[in-house]
Structure 1
Amino acid sequence: MTARDLLTRSNLLGAALVVVLLVLPSLATAYFVNFVMTQTFILGLAAATIVFLAKYGGMISLAQFLLFGVAGFMFGNAAQETGARGLNLGWHPWAAVVFALVVTTAAAFVLGALASRSTGLYFLMLTMVYAVIGYYVFAQIVEISGPGGLTSIQRPDLLGPPVRLYYAGLGLSVLAYVGFRAVGRTAFGLALQGVRDDPVRMASLGFNVPLHRALAFTLAGFAAGAGGLLNVWWNGQIDPASIAIGPTLILLIIAVIGGISSFEGAWLGAFVYVLIFTYLRDLPLIDRVGITEARFNTVIGVIVLVIMMLSPEGLTGIARRLRRRLRPPARTGPAPSTGPPLPVRTTEKELGVTRR
C-alpha cells in the first residue's frame, strides 16, 4: 500500500474526525462526553461486529449481544472479591480482563462452529436461540449471576476517571474499525467474501467453508467481548435483562439505522440511537403529541421505517446519495485530436476519368 492509497479523501476525513474526538472532552460538557459519546463507542463497537459478519460473511447474527454480556459477567465473577452473587474470585482486574476475553472468544468459537453450516434465515434464527439460551443461563444459575445480576463492579484503577473510559472506547473503536477493514483485504478476508458469494464453488476449490465462518464468528465475538468489558466498567453492574432479546434486537436496529453494509454506520447508528434515547424526552411540547418515554420503542420503529424507505443502506447510504448529487459534474470538452486528418481517397470514377 502506497502513501497515495492512504491519503484518500475518506481516510483524511476519518483522521480529522479522530482528532476532533480526541479534543472533544475539552470542548463539550462532561455529560455529553461521558454519557452520550462513551455509550456511542460501546454500542458502536458491538454493532460493528454485526456489520463485519454481514459485510464479509453474509451472516446476520443476533448472538453478538450475548457475547457482549458474557465478557461482562466473566469479568464481574473474576474481579469481585465479595458480593451477594457470583464466584467472587477476587483476581487482579487485568487478569480478570484476560479471563473474560478468553472465555468469550472460546464461547464464540463453539457457537460459531455449531452455526457454521447454516445460512440465511436459519443462521439468524439459530443465533437468536443462542441469545435466548444465554439469557436463561445467567438468569437461572445463581452461582454466576442469578436474576439480580452482579453489582458494584469496579473498573481497573487505570480507567478510574470517566474521561479515561471515553478515551478507551475511542481507542478500541478505532482499532476495531481499522482492524475489520484490514481483515477484509487479507487472504482470509477475501476467502470469506468468496464464501459469502458462492460457498459451493469455494468448497469445490478446496476451502473449508464452515471453518471460515466459525473463525469469522470468533473474531467478531472477541471484539464484542471488548465492548462488553467497556459496558460493565461504564455501568458498574450487569444483569440477565441487559442481554435479553430486547437489547439484542436494539443492537441489530442500531446496525440497520447506520447501514449494515458500512462500518461507519455502526457508530453512526449508535450515535443516533443514544441521542434519541437521551434527548427525546427533553424536546419542547413532545408530550403534547403523545410521545412519552414508554413509547420510545415506537419512535425508534418509525425512524427505522423512514430510513429504510429512503435508503435500505441506512444513514450511510443516504449520505452517499447526497454526496453524489452535490458532486460537481465532470467537465466535458472536445475529443482529443490524434493527428492530422487522413486524406480522403477519391476513385477515378468519381473524378470522371476514363481509362483508354
Structure 2
Amino acid sequence: MTILRSVRPGGTLLAGLIAVLLVLPALAPAFFINFVMTKTLVLGIAAASIVFLARYGGLVSLAQFLFFGVGGFMYGNAVLEDGSRGLNLGMSPWAAVVFAIVVTTAVACVLGALASRMTGLYFLMLTMVYTVIGFFVFAQIVEISGPGGLTSIPRPELMAPPVSLYYAALAVSVVAYVGFRALGRTPFGLTLQGVRDDPLRMASLGFNVPLHRTAAFTLAGFVAGLAGVLNVWWNGQIDPASIALDPSLILLIMAVIGGISYFEGAWLGAFVYVLVFTYLRDVPLLDQIGITEARLNTVIGAVVLLIMVLSPEGLAGIAEQVRRRVRATRTRHSAVADDARPTLTTPTGEQS
C-alpha cells in the first residue's frame, strides 16, 4: 500500500511510459536502443542515487560515480581469470555480481560513516576527495586494476543479447524509482527528511542523525553499484579515467539538468546528456560555427545554463510548472462553470 500511495500522483503516466519503453525495441533502431536508451537508463540509475541523497537527506554527493566504478571494478576482478591485471577470482557472472554489490555497499557504509557528521559544502568537498582517492587507488594498484583498467569483461549469457541488457536496465530503473519514492513515506524516509530540515531538533528528540545519514549514503552507494555492474555489462571494460572527477561532475550535471528534486529528473537529465553527446557531432554545419567534438562539454554547459535560467528545478521542474498551470486552469474553468449553472427554486422558495 505504501508503494501504491507513493506513485499514485503520476501512476498512470508512469505506467504509460513503462509500456512505451517495453515496446520501444520493436519500434526504434538497434543503435538507438543499445547506445542511447541503455546508456541513459544505466546513468539514470546512478544519477537517481544523487537525487535520493539531495531530496531526502539534503546531501549533495560527488562520490556516486566512485561507487558506480567500484561496482564495475569489483565485478571485473571477480569474473575474470588468468588475466594480466586484477584479482582474477574466476567467479561465475552471477556470483561476481553479488561480490561486487557487497563490496560496493561495504565501501559506501564506511565512507558514509566518515562523512555522516558533515553537511553542505563540507560534505560535498569530502565526497569529492573520496572520488579523487578512488581514482588513484584503482590507477596505482595493479592488483585490482592499474592505469589500463580491466578489459574483455564477460557478462552473463542471459544478458548476451543487447536488448536483454536494455530490459535489465529498465527493470532496475523502475525498481529504483518506485523504491526511492516509496522510501520517502516510510518511517526511515520521514526521519531522514526531518534530519534534512532540522538535524539539531531531530537529535534532541532522540534520533541518531549520523546513523540515518550513514544508512542513506550506504543505500545510495548500493544503487550506484548496481548501475556500475550494468555499465560493465554494457561496455565490457572499465578503467580509472572513467571514474575520475570529470565523470563524477557530469553525473551531477545530469541530475541538475533533469531536476535534482525529482527522481524522474535523473533519467531525463541522463537522456538529454546522452542525446547531446551522441548526436550533436552529426548535426550539419555545426563545425562551421566552431562547435566541434572537442567542445561538446562547452555546449553541454550552455545547455545546463539555459535550463537553469528557465527553471532552477531543471526539466522536471518545467514539466511540473506546466502541470500545475493546467490544473489551475481546469479548476478555474470548473469554478466558472459552477457559477454559471442556473439555480432552481422550489415552491417553498428554497434554491437547489
- Which bracket does the TM-score occupy, shorter chain normalised? over 0.9
- CA distance in 2 between counterparts of 1:16 and 1:142 reads 47
**2:58–2:196 Cα contact (<8 Å) kept:** yes
2:149 alignment partner, SS class? coil
**How has the CA–CA distance of structure 1 residues 4 and 67 changed in structure 2, closer, same or farther, with 3 Å as cutoff?**
closer
Paired AA for residue 239 in structure 1: D
Q: Per-residue CA shift, 1:31-73, capped at 9, x if unaligned?
A: 0001100000010000000000000000000000000000110
Give the structure 1 partner of residue 28 of structure 2. 28
2:152 alignment partner, SS class? coil
Matches within 5 A, 1:116-155: 116-155=116-155
**How has the CA–CA distance of structure 1 residues 157 and 2 changed in structure 2, closer, same or farther, with 3 Å as cutoff?**
closer
Give the structure 1 partner of residue 11 of structure 2. 11
**C-alpha displacement of 1:323:** 2.5
Matched, 1:310 2:317: no
Specify the structure having the higher radius of gyration (Cα): 1
**How has the CA–CA distance of structure 1 residues 267 and 61 changed in structure 2, closer, same or farther, with 3 Å as cutoff?**
same
The 10-residue stretch of structure 1 (84-93 or 165-174) with the greater mean CA deviation from structure 2: 84-93
- CA distance in 1 between counterparts of 2:320 and 2:211 reads 35
Give the structure 2 partner of residue 351 of structure 1. none
**How has the CA–CA distance of structure 1 residues 334 and 264 changed in structure 2, closer, same or farther, with 3 Å as cutoff?**
same
Task: Select the structure that is richer in helix.
Answer: 2
Give the structure 1 partner of residue 297 of structure 2. 297
Give the structure 2 partner of residue 353 of structure 1. none
**C-alpha displacement of 1:3:** 11
**How has the CA–CA distance of structure 1 residues 141 and 21 changed in structure 2, closer, same or farther, with 3 Å as cutoff?**
same
Give the structure 2 partner of residue 349 of structure 1. none
Matched, 1:114 2:102: no
Give the structure 2 partner of residue 102 of structure 1. 102
Q: Per-residue CA shift, 1:312-331, capped at 9, x if unaligned?
A: 10001111222333443423
- CA distance in 2 between counterparts of 1:186 and 1:304 reads 33
Give the structure 2 partner of residue 280 of structure 1. 280
**2:53–2:217 Cα contact (<8 Å) kept:** yes
Give the structure 1 partner of residue 205 of structure 2. 205
Count of equivalent residues = 341
Paired AA for residue 310 in structure 2: L
1:270 alignment partner, SS class? helix
**C-alpha displacement of 1:17:** 0.5
Matched, 1:50 2:50: yes
Give the structure 2 partner of residue 90 of structure 1. 90
- CA distance in 2 between counterparts of 1:294 and 1:165 reads 30
**How has the CA–CA distance of structure 1 residues 5 and 341 changed in structure 2, closer, same or farther, with 3 Å as cutoff?**
farther
Give the structure 2 partner of residue 346 of structure 1. none
**2:259–2:317 Cα contact (<8 Å) kept:** yes
Q: Per-residue CA shift, 1:124-163, capped at 9, x if unaligned?
A: 0000000000000000001100000000000011111110
Q: Which runs of 5+ in 1 are unaligned?
A: 343-356
- CA distance in 2 between counterparts of 1:187 and 1:9 reads 20
- CA distance in 2 between counterparts of 1:68 and 1:312 reads 27
- CA distance in 2 between counterparts of 1:4 and 1:94 reads 31
- CA distance in 1 between counterparts of 2:135 and 2:7 reads 45
Q: Per-residue CA shift, 1:240-277, capped at 9, x if unaligned?
A: 00000000000000000000000000000000000000
- CA distance in 2 between counterparts of 1:293 and 1:260 reads 27
Q: Which runs of 5+ in 2 are unaligned?
A: none
- CA distance in 1 between counterparts of 2:39 and 2:243 reads 16
**How has the CA–CA distance of structure 1 residues 329 and 228 changed in structure 2, closer, same or farther, with 3 Å as cutoff?**
same
Q: TM-score, normalised by structure 1?
A: 0.92
Give the structure 1 partner of residue 196 of structure 2. 196
Give the structure 2 partner of residue 173 of structure 1. 173
Q: What RMSD in Å do the two structures reach over aligned CA positions?
A: 2.0
Paired AA for residue 230 in structure 1: L
**2:76–2:150 Cα contact (<8 Å) kept:** yes
Q: TM-score, normalised by structure 2?
A: 0.93
